[in-house]
Amino acid sequence: MFHLLKLEWLKQKDYVLFRVLSIAYVVLLPAALFVGKKLDFGNEAPFNPQMEFFHFPKVWSWLGYIGNWMSFFVLGFMAVLMITNEYSNRTLRQNVITGLHRAEFFKSKLFFMVAVSLAATLYYALCALVIGLLHVDDTLYFSTVFKNVDMVPRFWLMSMGYMSFGLLVGLLVKRTGIALFLYLAYSMVIESILRWVVHLFFFKNVSMNFYPLNAMEDLVPLPLTEFADDLLKENGFRMLLTPIEAGIATVVYTSLFLFLSYKRLKNSDL
């Protein structure tokens, strides 16, 4: 495992876009939250940004939601690029010629995705702890600090989901520009049309929330939507999946995407 992980790291570490995406994640994840210090919603605001964004336990949720978008773009793009570059540079063919089996090649990608997702999650957890501790105003209780710590494993699972989807798109399309366009098009347009136009029009029920990218997003949702969801439940409608529902759905989709990626890689031309 470590040998394959090292091989993949040696490929990626000198790649300019990999460095740019990594730096963007490291800088923008905490920086985006601190934009909240400049926001002023006035006296009619439903919440105080200073208290909501930076204090325990809410900092886990707000930073997690920012990380949701960061993972979607940064980690998803990484997954697309790390496979399309293999085709454009013909390094996949070279790896096979020099004795690396396709199964081993796939494992190197999988191990790298697990490692990147884990690193992104640990960084998110570290940022949340540091930001929360820097904004302690009164007595701090252990139970308050770790009240929403379940966001951490949910964040990792969400990251793996986005990366597995990106990997599959890259393997299906092979060309970087088209693959990135398709990744964004499905995530931000096609799935929304399927959910809110087709699905909602023909059979309105909770199943419309179980589409792949929506399930992954619901693992770490926008905190404000939780309040709206509570109100909508009173009328028999739900905006969000529960964490358990979103977790199970993401595990299923991630496993499916990885299985399809392996089958595609196994049967594709080099």
Mind listing the pLDDT tens digit for each residue in 110-124?
999 999 999 999 999
| pLDDT band (50, 70, 90) for residue 51 | low
- What is the structure's pLDDT at 197? 84
SS (H, E, C) the chain: CHHHHHHHHHHHCCCHHHHHHHHHHHHHHHHHHHHHHHCCCCCCCCCCHHHHHHCCCHHHHHHHHHHHHHHHHHHHHHHHHHHHHHHHCCHHHHHHHCCCCHHHHHHHHHHHHHHHHHHHHHHHHHHHHHHHHHCCCCCCCHHHHCCCCCHHHHHHHHHHHHHHHHHHHHHHHCCHHHHHHHHHHHHHHHHHHHHHHHHHHHCCCHHHHHCHHHHHHCCCCCHHHHHHHHHHHCCCCCCCCCHHHHHHHHHHHHHHHHHHHHHHHHHCCC
- What is the structure's pLDDT at 118? 98
**CB-based contact 2:32 (threshold 8 Å):** no
What is the average per-residue pLDDT within 129-156?
Answer: 89
What is the average per-residue pLDDT within 148-176?
Answer: 96
- What is the structure's pLDDT at 264? 93
Mind listing the pLDDT tens digit for each residue in 62-88?
999 999 999 999 999 999 999 999 988
Distance (Å, whole) CA 191 – CA 133: 39
- What is the structure's pLDDT at 125? 97
**Residue from 73, 83, 79 nearest 24 by CA:** 73
Mind listing the pLDDT tens digit for each residue in 209-261?
999 999 999 999 988 766 555 555 555 567 788 899 999 999 999 999 999 99
- What is the structure's pLDDT at 47? 59
- What is the structure's pLDDT at 205? 78
- b/e burial code for range 247-264 (CB count within 10 A of at least 16 → b): bebbeebbeebbeebbeb
Distance (Å, whole) CA 127 – CA 131: 6
- What is the structure's pLDDT at 77? 97
Residue 42 confidence (pLDDT) above 60 = no
- What is the structure's pLDDT at 124? 98
Please give the model's pTM, rounded to 2 decimal places.
Answer: 0.93
Residue/partner pairs of 185-189 with CB below 8 Å, 24 or more apart: 186/213, 187/72, 187/76, 187/213
- What is the structure's pLDDT at 257? 98
Q: Is 174 left (phi over 0), alpha (psi -120 to 50) or beta?
A: left
Residue 33 confidence (pLDDT) above 60 = yes
- What is the structure's pLDDT at 91? 83
Residue 191 confidence (pLDDT) above 90 = yes
What is the average per-residue pLDDT within 154-183?
Answer: 97
